[in-house]
Amino acid sequence: MTDVTMCSSSAPTPEEEKLMIRDVAMTAEAQTKEGDTFYLITQRWWQNWLEYVNQNHTNSTNDGSSSEPHDSVGSCALKRPSSIDNSDLIYETSSEDSTMGVELHDTLVEGTDYILLPQDVWNQLYSWYGGGPTLARKVINSGLSQTELAVEVYPLRLQLHLMPKGDHSAIRISKKETIGELHRKACEFFDLSPEQVCIWDYFSHRKHALMNDMDKTLDDANIQMDQDILVEVVDNITGGCMSSVQENGSAENGTSVLVEPSKSSFSIAGGFSASKGLSRNGNSESSQFQSLISSVRELDKPYGISGVSTRGSSGGLTGLLNLGNTCFMNSAIQCLVHTPEFARYFQEDYHQEINFQNPLGMVGELALAFGDLLRKLWAPGRTPVAPRPFKTKLARFAPQFSGYNQHDSQEFLAFLLDGLHEDLNRVKHRPYIKSRDADGRPDEEVADEYWASHIARNDSIIVDVCQGQYKSTLVCPVCNKISVTFDPFMYLSLPLQSTTTRSMTVTVFSCDGSALPVACTVTVPKQGRCRDLIQALNSACFLKQNEKLLLAEIRSHLIHRFLEDPLISLSSIKDDDHLAAYKIPKFVKNTKFLQLIHRREERETGNAQKTTGWKPYGTPLVSPISCDDIITRGDIQSMVHTLLSPMLRTENLGHPDIADANTSSAASDPPRAISSTEACTDFVVAGSDQKDGGSTAVVSTKLPLQLVDENNACIDLSVGEEKSVKLSSSSISILLFIDWSQKLLENYDTHYLENLPEVFKYVPATKKSRTEPLSLYTCLEAFLREEPLVPEDMWYCPQCKERRQASKKLDLWRLPEVLVIHLKRFSYSRSMKHKLETFINFPIHDFDLTNYVANKNNSRRQLYELYALTNHYGGMGSGHYTAHIKLLDENRWYNFDDSHISPINEEDVKSAAAYVLFYRRVKTDDASVSNGAQSSAGHNNFTSEK
């Protein structure tokens, strides 16, 4: 380090220094261009110099007014600063003689750790004070159009690997240098002749691409910070590059590739720190020399030339290592980290807002862990970050995310946002506020009252940025009581179904033995009720006037419930449920239902001789039974024979398989309840006679039936057929078991009772359906459509004083600064999980929600622009998450795939993998919307509605 001692006699006065620097700065700012040199100087020394040159302005001015005294100025004048000392910006082991030169600390932040000075300004200060070391950096063109000026504070750091010798070293080189210059430097370092060397893009220690276009820049070749470069010695015999390297890093010709194993899958680590638009303190007007020119007191502001941003080595393009199925976490974190409001907040001093006393929070630990991770991701010059400390804190407070299993990215995001809110809640003592119903008051008044109550208890950066407000309207189906509330929301979860109808499959059984079961598929309203399903089935299976259908849900080969209430919502029936409909007589009173439950012996795996007992299987059959007459065991035997007759194996009986069309076999006679007088004492069943078309009696053996009586005891019905049976009076259903032995199964074909079809069989989207994209607006409209509450979430009507299945209508009332939209691709039920691969056509620009906001007093146009989204590829449990993120200061999209980051085109952002969308409000020039008309305002700047 060079240290120059200045003679006090030749040193200018503070006022002279200030004026000279001002004049030099004006010239430098006006003439800044690509290739100019800027110099780093420590913020600490610069601040001392500012105080020194400003000390004359702490006294009274000529007009008699008094300026604000400087905190550090006492009765004596401040001493002249010592020589420039940039040692705190560099590593202690740095040396100008090393291959890397003087190395800056990786985590320096402009305006906090250092400022940038034009060459003439640096030269002037250096001539007065001396010191060092000199840290010069070049101005380059950047941005999407390559017309924006930026200072490349962190040139590319590349890892050179020499093959086959195995030497390796790191070098610094500007991303604007050509491949030819990199080739020259590599040859110079390893003392090789240029004709002997080929260089390869060696991403992840694999030969990615041969770099043979010597005029192409490293930026154009997509070479990024800390990337590996393979320096391959040319085969002297063939004169060409050696054979390609296999995935394990070994050469195909057997030559050992002695390279150091990569510590991580290196990502793109280049990027611009936003000294102009996203500085650490959130001040977008960061030009220190503009401050010098305008007023002396504003010399304290961070410095930067207008139109020139700092080129950091990461600038938001730092990846996250996958610790083992943590892509769900990485993708969501990157989206939050690249939300500008959060980036500014967590890079400032947010610790004063941590709520350590909040019993709903995590004692501030989650916020501290996230803030630390965010700073690492925005710090320049870093390789991919391993988020282990954050995951450790996450697992402590959310055990469901512990371990290394795959999880839902949206569920993690919801927990993280809620946890950060509680840790950063500015309200230390939450007041109790009782909510009031609207009771006919204007919506605007009620909404503001609810929002004020919410803010009185919840006030954080998360609320400021992400929370909006619903209008929720409930209507009682009995008394028509209307209840209006206004509730906060953090994100919108939108359904992907594009239609208002739903296909449902139900298996229809005849109770009189006239037909085999038939599967009927019908179309019903998606938000309909059981009466809609029964009406559709009536038409599909040609129900007669004196018949009706008894609908039942089947689970584990038993009847789980009868769906007798016509107002039951169809939304309570899941796609993987199994439904059966039984034809029964319509006008029979005092009737119970006999449930015939099938059982068979199950044998131990690997031991065909040993059984584990009788287990239910197949689908129960139902038959009405009259309670007015005396029922004997023989009556029930006859009844069961009738039920099973279609499945009887005889030469004269042939039946088609279960149909899959929307029709069924017509019954010859309507089913009716069987009384004792109609019992067939010979236990016969009717079969078709091919000779004369009449009926013939087929003698059948007694069936092994066991009836469950009112004391839950089993009665053997295979003996004492004349004995009467006392039916339970406490239940509408009578349980009857039939045990199917292997011998009995030889007489009956019971496969018709097995494999009951699901209500809806999920199949992946066809190519045709993918060509007809579903609009995000359509999903939003389906979300806002009125629908009945599910039975598990019924509403207590204050007027009826009972719980009712009310209809619910949601409206958007207040929209947040950042709107998070969750596309509900995953469908969960008791036994199945489905993923919808539906392509959603979501807007990237001009997402206009003006007409969807119920608050018409807000005349501002509600425009949003997409800046980030998470993607999910693959199936349930084994899929992979990535993120597409737009760097706003570069106006360029990138794909974040754990530790690997790569630029993508905007047209590639949309895909069927999109899962969670992040929109940011757009500031419009025309803030008014009259008569619902949409203005053509621009959307280049963002603003807050709060």
Let me know: does 28 contact 116? Beta carbons within 8 Å.
Answer: no
Higher local confidence (pLDDT), 856 or 473: 473
Higher local confidence (pLDDT), 294 or 112: 112
CA-based nearest residue to 862, from 823, 822, 821, 816: 816
Interval 483-496: pLDDT, tens:
888 999 999 999 88
- The DSSP-derived string for 313-356 is S-TT---B--SSS-HHHHHHHHHHHT-HHHHHHHHS--GGG--T
CA distance 123 to 238: 53
**pLDDT score at 609:** 66
Let me know: does 150 contact 272? Beta carbons within 8 Å.
Answer: yes
Higher local confidence (pLDDT), 684 or 201: 201
The stretch 730-743 carries a mean pLDDT of: 85
Give me the amino acid identity at 559: I
Residue 448 makes CB contacts below 8 A (sequence gap 6+) with none
Mean pLDDT value across the chain? 76
Active site residue ranges: 327, 880
Let me know: does 175 contact 216? Beta carbons within 8 Å.
Answer: no
Instruction: Indicate the pLDDT class of residue 664, thresholds 50, 70 and 90.
Output: very low
Higher local confidence (pLDDT), 499 or 866: 866
Instruction: Indicate the pLDDT class of residue 649, thresholds 50, 70 and 90.
Output: confident
The stretch 921-926 carries a mean pLDDT of: 74
Residue in the block written with tokens 């209507």: 475
Higher local confidence (pLDDT), 903 or 289: 903
CA distances from 651 to 687, 747, 749, 753 (A): 10, 11, 13, 21
Instruction: Indicate the pLDDT class of residue 10, thresholds 50, 70 and 90.
Output: low
**pLDDT score at 74:** 41
Length of the chain: 946
The stretch 428-450 carries a mean pLDDT of: 85
Interval 174-185: pLDDT, tens:
888 899 999 898
Higher local confidence (pLDDT), 926 or 581: 581
The stretch 15-38 carries a mean pLDDT of: 75
> Does residue 878 have a pLDDT over 80?
no
The stretch 608-634 carries a mean pLDDT of: 82
> Does residue 276 have a pLDDT over 60?
no
> Does residue 666 have a pLDDT over 50?
no
CA distance 812 to 882: 29
CA distance 164 to 251: 9
**pLDDT score at 823:** 94
The stretch 188-209 carries a mean pLDDT of: 81
**pLDDT score at 296:** 34
Interval 338-382: pLDDT, tens:
999 999 999 888 999 999 988 998 889 999 999 999 998 988 766
Instruction: Indicate the pLDDT class of residue 287, thresholds 50, 70 and 90.
Output: very low
CA-based nearest residue to 919, from 466, 508, 485: 466
**pLDDT score at 910:** 93
Give just the sign of the alpha carbon dihedral 695, 700, 702, 706. Answer: negative
> Does residue 299 have a pLDDT over 80?
no
The stretch 898-904 carries a mean pLDDT of: 91
Residue in the block written with tokens 């390279």: 259
Distinct helix (H) and strand (E) counts, the chain: 17, 45
The stretch 76-85 carries a mean pLDDT of: 81
The listed range with the strongest mean pLDDT (25-29, 793-797, 810-814, 830-834) is: 810-814
Let me know: does 86 contact 286? Beta carbons within 8 Å.
Answer: no
Of the candidate ranges 31-35, 74-78, 694-698, the one whose mean pLDDT is the lowest: 694-698
Residue 261 makes CB contacts below 8 A (sequence gap 6+) with 205
Of the candidate ranges 132-136, 159-163, 623-627, the one whose mean pLDDT is the lowest: 623-627
Let me know: does 405 contact 326? Beta carbons within 8 Å.
Answer: no
> Does residue 451 have a pLDDT over 90?
yes
User: In this structure, what are the phi and psi dihedrals at residue 299, rounded to the nearest 5 degrees?
Assistant: -65, -15
**pLDDT score at 498:** 52
Helices (H), 385-425: 388-397, 409-423
The stretch 505-523 carries a mean pLDDT of: 90
Instruction: Indicate the pLDDT class of residue 54, thresholds 50, 70 and 90.
Output: confident
Higher local confidence (pLDDT), 709 or 246: 709
Count the alpha carbons within 13 Å of 269 in the hemisphere toward its beta carbon: 28
Residue 620: cis peptide before it, omega within 30 degrees of 0: no
Q: Percent of the chain scored above 90 by pLDDT?
A: 24
Interval 525-560: pLDDT, tens:
777 888 889 988 988 887 888 889 999 999 999 999
Give me the amino acid identity at 60: S
**pLDDT score at 339:** 95
Residue 442: cis peptide before it, omega within 30 degrees of 0: no
Q: For residue 486, how many other CB atoms are within 10 A of its CB?
A: 23
Residue 329 makes CB contacts below 8 A (sequence gap 6+) with 387, 391, 394, 401, 407, 409, 412
The stretch 670-684 carries a mean pLDDT of: 36
> Does residue 290 have a pLDDT over 70?
no
> Does residue 244 have a pLDDT over 60?
no
Instruction: Indicate the pLDDT class of residue 467, thresholds 50, 70 and 90.
Output: very high
Let me know: does 197 contact 183? Beta carbons within 8 Å.
Answer: yes
> Does residue 769 have a pLDDT over 50?
no
Higher local confidence (pLDDT), 890 or 460: 460
**pLDDT score at 286:** 35
> Does residue 841 have a pLDDT over 50?
yes
Give just the sign of the alpha carbon dihedral 443, 448, 453, 457. Answer: positive
> Does residue 84 have a pLDDT over 50?
yes
> Does residue 270 have a pLDDT over 70?
no
The listed range with the strongest mean pLDDT (264-273, 439-448, 897-906) is: 897-906
> Does residue 289 have a pLDDT over 50?
no
Higher local confidence (pLDDT), 640 or 277: 640
- Write a three-state SS string for 899-943: CEEEEECHHHCCCCCEEEEEEEECECCCCCCCCCCCCCCCCCECC
> Does residue 258 have a pLDDT over 90?
no
Of the candidate ranges 92-106, 291-305, 556-570, 770-784, the one whose mean pLDDT is the lowest: 291-305
**pLDDT score at 255:** 32
CA distances from 50 to 24, 110, 134, 359 (A): 16, 17, 20, 46
The stretch 183-210 carries a mean pLDDT of: 83
Of the candidate ranges 1-5, 97-101, 645-649, the one whose mean pLDDT is the lowest: 1-5
Let me know: does 387 contact 373? Beta carbons within 8 Å.
Answer: yes
